[in-house]
Amino acid sequence: MKILIIDDEYDVRSILGDILRSAGYEVTTAEDGEEGLRKVRAERPSLVITDILMPGLDGFHFLNEVRKDKALGDIQVVFYTGNYLDKEDEQLAHDLGVSRFLIKPLAPADIIAVVKEVISEKAKRAAPAETSTSLDESTFLKLYNERLVTKLKHKVQESDKALSSLENIMESIADGVVVIDKNYTIIQANSSAENFSGVEKKELIGRKCYEMAHHRSSPCEGPNIICPHYQLFQRGENLVKVLHTHVDVRGDERHVEINASPIKDSKGRIFAMVETYRDIMEKYSDDELVKLVKRLNDAQTHLKHMAITDDLTGLHNRRYIVERLDEEFERARRSGHPLSLIMLDIDRFKQINDTYGHLFGDVVLRVIAVRLKSSIRKHDIVGRVGGEEFLVICPDSLLADTLVVAERIRKVINEENISDGTQQVKVALSAGVTIIQGSDVSSDRIFSRADSALYKAKEEGRNKVVVL
């Protein structure tokens, strides 16, 4: 028995589908009402479970279209919604012939019980219920528009209250506060931000943050600039603390301490950031300048960290890992201690990028970086040396011990799919392992040998470790 699920949320379709499949039902899905209507007409499911609020054709319109089509008259429709339905909503749905209302979230057992009940009721009827007819178009539109206007009024009232509450909270904060969207545009500011910048709030809102704070015509970029916007939106950090020099409306420099945090929507996606800042010289008295110096030193340390770190994965970058290999090679030559390498490469990474897109490819690289760090030993050193290539330096490590580490990494990467919440893929690694030899005159030799072992693993079928 086939059931069609219509919902614009991927997670809802996925979870609901798993619940129904576990009960033995065949499940098909649609992302919106238009797609759902096409599938109803093409596949004729026994039951449709649909959300109400969806872009395009919503649940009410979908149900009315189904009831207008006499060939679809026996199809049962259940509303599954996370929004509260008032009596007028319920009456309109009943007039259109809805079978049940389910309010999200609902326990799997309750969902299956309702589905069985609705299907059982359908089986007992010899013919489609005469009451499951559509309303004429003018009546439906009149009732539907009345419900839409009512809900819109409620939403406007709720939005006004939320906005008023947000403004009151921001005004109660002594520090300057601004809310900035993904396009660097200031969308909200408090009176302290107005006093600090010398620009009225109504003039701040709608302007670019880099324009107002730095008198720049483009976003802040450069090796010595730590931009909170980049750290939050691009690197995905949850809190950024930095020291900046702002320029006020008079052209005077103001040394400020900034704390920035992301603002996320219901799906966990960052759509804006909130920034609070204060004048350092107002915050600190002369005898507290030591604390300021410490913060400046911390900022310098952070810059040094960024210089040796790969932006995307957070691992050591190629320059650093190659320099460390040179150092460890010379140390091993002097001491006579072993030194082993693991060269790793993601199998068919280009295919992943081509199939799922480069943004998803970036997710794959970040997840693999996390799994790499969790799989190596404390004294091992890992870095990204190329697009999808990684190097693990294993000081004081015999070949057999390094092989164990390489196999552990390969299994950890391969055992669990990588997902961004909407799509997922199983990823494999190939690895080449080698150890320093007496004939090696430079670190290039051992690096090249590890690389050769890696490509041999690729030639032998991938997802394996080869030793040279």
- Mean pLDDT, residues 365-381: 93
Residues 30 and 2 sit within 8 Å (Cβ to Cβ): no
| Per-residue pLDDT tens over the stretch 37-64 | 999 999 999 999 998 888 778 888 888 8
Residues 317 and 439 sit within 8 Å (Cβ to Cβ): no
| Per-residue pLDDT tens over the stretch 123-141 | 776 444 444 455 666 666 5
Residue 34 has pLDDT above 70, yes or no: yes
Residue 342 has pLDDT above 90, yes or no: yes
* Res. 390 pLDDT band, cuts 50 70 90: very high
| Per-residue pLDDT tens over the stretch 270-282 | 888 898 887 776 5
Residue 404 has pLDDT above 90, yes or no: yes
Q: Under 8 Å CB-to-CB from 293, ≥6 apart: which residues?
A: none
Residue 156 has pLDDT above 50, yes or no: no
CA-based nearest residue to 213, from 185, 175, 181, 171: 185
Pairwise CA distance, residues 427 & 436, whole Å: 30
Pairwise CA distance, residues 37 & 30, whole Å: 9
Phi and psi at 346, nearest 5°, equal -75, 125
Q: Under 8 Å CB-to-CB from 162, ≥6 apart: which residues?
A: none
Mean pLDDT of the chain: 83
Residues 120 and 98 sit within 8 Å (Cβ to Cβ): no
Q: How far is CA 113 from CA 19, 75, 154, 265, 283, in A?
A: 11, 18, 33, 33, 62
Helix or strand holding residue 159 (H, E): helix 137-171
* Res. 143 pLDDT band, cuts 50 70 90: low
| Strand ordering across the sheet containing 381-384 | 381-384, 389-395, 339-346, 429-435, 465-467
Burial (CB count within 10 angstroms: exposed 0-12, middle 13-18, buried 19+), residue 154: exposed
- Mean pLDDT, residues 337-362: 94
Residues 388 and 347 sit within 8 Å (Cβ to Cβ): no
Q: Under 8 Å CB-to-CB from 452, ≥6 apart: which residues?
A: 432, 468
Residue 168 has pLDDT above 80, yes or no: no
| Strand ordering across the sheet containing 2-6 | 26-30, 2-6, 47-50, 76-81, 100-103
Instruction: Give me the residues paired with residue 263 across strands.
Output: 272
- Mean pLDDT, residues 87-101: 80
- Mean pLDDT, residues 161-169: 65
* Res. 151 pLDDT band, cuts 50 70 90: low
- In one-letter notation, the amino acid at residue 165 is S
Q: Taking the alpha carbons of 403, 404, 406, 410 in that order, is the dihedral positive or negative?
A: positive
| Per-residue pLDDT tens over the stretch 442-467 | 999 999 999 999 999 999 999 999 99
- In one-letter notation, the amino acid at residue 327 is E
State the pLDDT at residue 128.
Answer: 44
State the pLDDT at residue 4.
Answer: 96
